[in-house]
Amino acid sequence: MRSLRELRSRDLRVLLDEEIAHWTAELDWDFADVASAVADAVDARTVAGRAVQDGPRALAYCYWLREQGRAVVGSLFAAEQARGQGLEERLLDAVLAEAQARPDCERVEGQTLFSTTAVADESYARSGFAGRARQYLMRDLAEPLPAAPDDWRLVPLARSHIPEAARLVFESHSGSADAVLNSVYLSPERTRQFVETLMLHDGCGRFMAEASLAAFGPEGLLGVVLCSRVSRRNGHICQVSVLPRLHGRGVGRALVVAALERLRREGLTTASLSVTAGNERATRLYARLGFRLHRTYGAYAWVRPPQRLWL
């Protein structure tokens, strides 16, 4: 096993190409932009992580990034012929130990959506992480869309909405498992950076202004939905949030149905999103709107003791 800092992107090229094909087939998610960012970061020596090699060829790798005092674990990928041999487990154990040992990382986070082994969840548990299951749901956009209430004014989500939208996203997640496990919900400022990253810097696929909406009532902004294109065919709902005092009144349904309509109009054929286990309202809403379970994975976080995470 070698540090990614000892490798050049050409050592990973074949593996990254296989990874792009793998996530497209498995999740309808085009990983090309991420793979090219990883390759650039390997050459620039700005990414940490480990790879297992057989001669000059990398068979498996896992990377992590440091941002704002936290470490974020990226994909954990093994070539098809190298799976089931414990390589991913060894890589993830090493990456988690390295990130946890860094005095400048007070917090480490990771999700296992982009992982070629279910054993990843055991590594996180063994390393003292708190976690929750998450579901990756998909919906065929050719299926008819259900009716939605039209009591609110839906407008395209614009750059000028960002401050208010971010405050709403922060408030709507307050006290939830997502807020414990994902530091983008730790403060209004962090949530604002997160929303800016999604909308202005294509932080989760290519942001789709055409399908991202704000719902307004007489009292102002009530909810938002943010969508991006994650492959030629698939649109991803990255965020849905409604003002807490209006939960359960149909705003979320109106926003998601309108977003799905627009994704279909843009020529996409499927929609995807992720939801954390225990978020009953969201889970039920998505089930009623025709989303089906595609894959279960995990979201994990660790904070340096004596700090603790309360889930």
Ligand X SMILES: CC(C)(COP(=O)(O)OP(=O)(O)OC[C@H]1O[C@@H](n2cnc3c(N)ncnc32)[C@H](O)[C@@H]1OP(=O)(O)O)[C@@H](O)C(=O)NCCC(=O)NCCS
Smallest gap from Cβ 168 to ligand X, in A, equals 8
Does position 233 interact with ligand X (CB under 6 A)? The reply is no
Does position 248 interact with ligand X (CB under 6 A)? The reply is yes
Does position 219 interact with ligand X (CB under 6 A)? The reply is no
How far is 133 from 275, CA to CA, in rounded Å?
A: 9
Fill in the per-residue mask, 162 to 191: x = in contact with ligand X (CB under 6 A), - = not in contact: ----------xx------------------
How far is 242 from 74, CA to CA, in rounded Å?
A: 29
Whose Cβ is closer to ligand X: residue 37's or residue 287's?
287
How far is 137 from 82, CA to CA, in rounded Å?
A: 28
Does position 253 interact with ligand X (CB under 6 A)? The reply is yes
Residue from 62, 166, 240, 299 in contact with ligand X (CB under 6 A): 240
Whose Cβ is closer to ligand X: residue 179's or residue 209's?
179
Residues binding ligand X: number (CB under 6 A): 20
Does position 238 interact with ligand X (CB under 6 A)? The reply is no
The window from 33-41, 50-58, 87-95, 279-287 that contacts ligand X (CB under 6 A) reads 279-287
Does position 213 interact with ligand X (CB under 6 A)? The reply is no
Does position 226 interact with ligand X (CB under 6 A)? The reply is no
Does position 250 interact with ligand X (CB under 6 A)? The reply is yes
Smallest gap from Cβ 60 to ligand X, in A, equals 30
Residue numbers at the binding site for ligand X (CB under 6 A): 172-173, 240-242, 247-253, 275, 279-282, 284-285, 288
